[in-house]
């Protein structure tokens, strides 16, 4: 593999002081993995991204990106959002940036630092996206950014950075999501990824919750936040996938050839592309334990139903 000089992506933001960036050299290729962390692992295995480059934030002092995202994906975790991003990644003129760690540094890691303004974070977010676009040896026609589930609480900041970009919220029945999270936990339900303040309960109440109840409370908070910004987001239900991606999302008429590519991508498991996708809603609901059902009914379903009523 030939390493292209000058191709690199931002991998982390250290707020400081002094504030600094960490970069990873790349081979200039598109990001084809389900998550950007997987891309970084591929680059390390190939010896391309073995080094780490450091730089000043002044490197992001240039003009705003010439190619803003065509869409930004929010979601509740384990809801089909990775499938959606993989479908866009199947299109040759699209670049998908999926849950890149540097975006979390900007949206979540820097939020408690009083030296950093929202205007700073919005600017860093724009230039991070620009840096991903600039990392490509072949120019991309369209960019899709998939954020982490908890970034829903930063939606106003994302909107400040990209005032005209369509925002999509991928959602799924919370009982099905909870069964998945109990079987394979994610950072979404690690305590303080979503704070007690964001859940809307005192810290001592949060700390007394069971594992199931805490996860359900996080989901409930995500659905309340989505409903609060209902006028800002286009809803995309798991049950409507994959067809809704090319029939209902605000990204213009979709050529037949692109629909065919997306159908093929939708036939594979989103996180394990070599494995065929098998619908699992019935299996997940049947696997829900009494504790999961009780937690979901108390902490998540009321917010989910309110979200559905707002659509």
Is residue 41 a part of any domain in this protein?
no
- Per DSSP, 106 falls in state I
Is residue 225 a part of any domain in this protein?
yes
Contact 159, 123 (CB under 8 A): no
Is residue 56 a part of any domain in this protein?
no
The model's confidence at residue 65, banded by pLDDT at 50, 70 and 90, is: low
Chain centroid to CA 193? 14
The model's confidence at residue 1, banded by pLDDT at 50, 70 and 90, is: very low
Distances (CA, A) of 217 to 8, 184, 185, 212, 226: 39, 17, 15, 9, 14
Report the number of distinct structural domains present in the chain: 1
pLDDT digits (tens, 9 = 90+) for 5-19: 358 888 988 877 777
Is residue 52 a part of any domain in this protein?
no
Q: What share of the chain is helix, strand, coil (3-state, %, to 5)?
A: 50, 15, 35
CATH number of the domain enclosing 77 = 3.40.50.300
Is residue 7 a part of any domain in this protein?
no
In degrees, to the nearest 5, what angle opens at C-alpha 223 toward C-alphas 146 and 102? 30
Q: Which domain holds residue 113?
A: 69-310
Is residue 50 a part of any domain in this protein?
no
The model's confidence at residue 275, banded by pLDDT at 50, 70 and 90, is: confident
Is residue 5 a part of any domain in this protein?
no
Neighbours of 208 (CB within 10 A): 11
Is residue 277 a part of any domain in this protein?
yes
């Amino acid at each position: 593999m030939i390493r292209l000089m000058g191709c690199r992506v931002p991998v982390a933001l250290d707020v400081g002081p002094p504030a600094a960036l960490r970069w990873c050299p790349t081979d200039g290729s598109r990001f084809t993995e389900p998550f950007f962390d997987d891309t970084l692992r591929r680059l390390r295995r190939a010896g391309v991204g073995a080094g780490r480059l450091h730089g000043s934030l002044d490197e992001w002092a240039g003009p705003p990106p010439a190619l803003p995202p065509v869409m930004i994906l929010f979601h509740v975790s384990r809801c089909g959002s990775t499938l959606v991003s993989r479908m866009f990644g199947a299109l040759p003129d699209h670049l998908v940036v999926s849950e890149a760690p540097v975006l979390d540094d900007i949206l979540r890691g820097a939020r408690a630092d009083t030296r950093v303004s929202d205007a700073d974070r919005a600017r860093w977010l724009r230039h991070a996206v620009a840096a991903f676009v600039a990392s490509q040896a072949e120019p991309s026609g369209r960019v899709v950014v998939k954020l982490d589930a908890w970034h829903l609480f930063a939606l106003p900041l994302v909107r400040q950075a990209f005032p005209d970009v369509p925002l999509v919220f991928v959602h799924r029945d919370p009982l099905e999501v909870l069964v998945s999270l109990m079987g394979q936990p994610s950072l979404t339900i690690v305590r303080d990824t979503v704070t007690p303040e964001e859940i809307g309960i005192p810290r001592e109440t949060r700390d007394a919750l069971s594992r199931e109840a805490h996860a359900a409370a996080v989901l409930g908070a995500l659905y309340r936040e989505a409903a609060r910004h209902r006028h800002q987001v286009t809803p995309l239900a798991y049950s409507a996938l994959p067809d809704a991606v090319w029939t209902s999302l605000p990204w213009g008429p979709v050529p037949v050839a692109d629909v065919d590519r997306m159908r093929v991508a939708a036939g594979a498991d989103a996180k394990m592309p070599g494995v065929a996708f098998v619908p699992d809603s019935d299996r997940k609901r049947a696997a829900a334990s009494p504790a999961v059902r009780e937690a979901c009914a108390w902490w998540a379903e009321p917010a989910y139903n309110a979200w559905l009523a707002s659509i």
